[in-house]
Each structure stands twice: as structure tokens, then as C-alpha cells.
Amino acid sequence: MFIGSIDALEESRVNYPPLIQKALRYLRDHDFTQIKDGSYPIDGDKCVAKVQRYTTRPHLDCRPETHQKFVDIQYVVVGEEYMGWCPFSPDLQVTAPYNADQDVAFYASLVPDSNIVLSPGRFAVLYPEDVHRPQGAVDNVPGPVTKVVVKVAVDSL
């Protein structure tokens, strides 16, 4: 997992693959407060932005997940989100096996449990080995969030 600030893209020392760089520039260059919820292609079906608005939930009510076909770039536009994270390991208990159509598997908990808070302008780049638990409420106080999740095809990196 990589964590960054959209305002510091040019100063970043991370050498992201070209398609991830393109996605991050797309996030930087659009005002998502003025864009409706939905899917927006950045590079055909290889890179798609999904704008979503929701209310965060107590973090233990959120399910840890992984993806195999896509890297997630989770970018908070409005609000704050408590996101859990851990590296993939055999210690994880699968609660819903991998569904190839939805590109997701779910787990009982994070082992070990690490967390970050994504605030406006912050993003996390999550690879298939990054187990993550999005949509958590900061201090377990639900709040409104506008977030963009960019799906970047692993086979295009």
C-alpha cells in the first residue's frame, strides 16, 4: 500500500506505473464535488473511476477485502474515512471466497490490524496483496464521505 496527498503528486518520490500516474493526475484534475455518482472511464476498461457518496460506519461493521484483477486507488474528496489494512497472509480467515465476477474476497478480520485515516486530498494505492477495510467511521462517529475509487487493471501495469 502507498499513501499520498494529491497536492504533492509532483514532489512524490514514488515511481508509480504509468497507468497509476494517469489515474492520479485524473483525480487531481477533476472537481468530484460537481460530478454525479457513477463510473467514469479513464483508459477504457483498464482504468475506471467510481464516484460514490455514503455515510461511514463503525469500522468493525466494515468487511476486510482483497481484489485480484484490479488495484484500488481510494481517494477521499469530502469527509474522513478510517481504513483498516494488513498484508495478505495465511492467518486470514476467509468469510466469502474470491468471486471472480465481482473481483472480491472477504475476510473476518485484519491480521495484524493497522489503520489510517483518509482525509480530503489523501489517497491509498492498494495492490492485490493489500487487505483493506474501507468505509470506517473516524472515532466510530458516522459521517458523510465523497470518495473516488479508481480500478486499475493489474494486467495493464
87's grid cell: 498484508
pLDDT at 121 over 90: yes
Q: pLDDT tens, 102-118?
A: 999 999 999 998 999 99
Is the Cβ–Cβ distance between 137 and 59 less than 8 Å? Answer: yes
- Which CATH architecture is the domain 2-156 placed in? Sandwich (2.60)
Cα distance between residue 144 and residue 79, in whole Å:
6
Displacement of CA 98 from its chain's centroid (Å)? 18
Q: Mind giving me the DSSP string for 96-155?
A: EEEETTTTEEEESS-SS-EEEEE-TTEEEEE-TTEEEEEEEPGGG---EEEEEEEEEEGG
Q: What is the pLDDT of residues 80-98, one digit of tens each?
A: 999 999 999 999 999 999 9
Q: What is the pLDDT of residues 38-80, one digit of tens each?
A: 999 999 999 999 999 999 999 889 999 999 999 999 999 999 9
Residue 63 burial (CB < 10 Å; 0-12/13-18/19+)? middle
- What average pLDDT score do residues 142-157 get? 97
Q: What is the pTM of this model?
A: 0.94
- Residue ranges covered by each domain of the chain: 2-156
